[in-house]
Structure 1
Amino acid sequence: MFTRVKSPEFNHPVKVSEPVDGGHRNSTFTGRFRVLTIDEASRFDLMTAAGTTSYLQAIFVGWGEDYVDEGKTPVPYSDAERDSLISTPYVRMALLDTYNAAMMGAKRGN
């Protein structure tokens, strides 16, 4: 049975590949996303930085307790902290990749 939810949201692991000296550090945190309708999504110009930022502000609505500061203390959600994450290039890409993969569903195997 399919249940229609008017404003669906979901949690997914966000896999971040952070550049460090000589390579990358891979980490994960739980992101909370809001599903946009086609009409809502079409209002964003994803070919511009500003449009992509607005899009991410609309879809990325929270995170789990596995998003922590340098002291390993969970960081509470706030729009300012969300915007700081969105402005970090490698986190930005990870958020877009996670949302898009979730919307497309699991890839079919061979």
Structure 2
Amino acid sequence: MTNNTQLRLGILEALCWHLCHALSNEKIAQYMTGETPVLLEFIECIYNDKDNQEDSVTKAAVALLGDLAITLPQTGQLFSQKPYTIQFVQEAATSGISSLTDVATWAQTAISKAVAKPVGA
């Protein structure tokens, strides 16, 4: 595993952990809402770096997209503005790697719900 892969994986896993375990819903909204566009840019860089994509990083990135969709439902509008997010998850869902497919299928459902949710709801 390259240093780049280890760094990306560490960042993604730490962010997922914070979203799911470390912060209350109020704190997540308070601290993470403003950071979501930056997180999506980071994930976009990972998505666009096809030469260095590793399954473990893809899985963690897709999981973070799903976690963002669940913990910050207002991110649906951002997902709509960033079509690569849906494409990234769809590619992961059809990867043929069962653990990646499982995470991607879950993330697709979470993102679909966030995108369908009316703004301000």
Q: TM-score, normalised by structure 2?
A: 0.29
Greater per-residue helix proportion: 2
Larger Cα-atom Rg: 1
TM-score (norm 1): 0.31
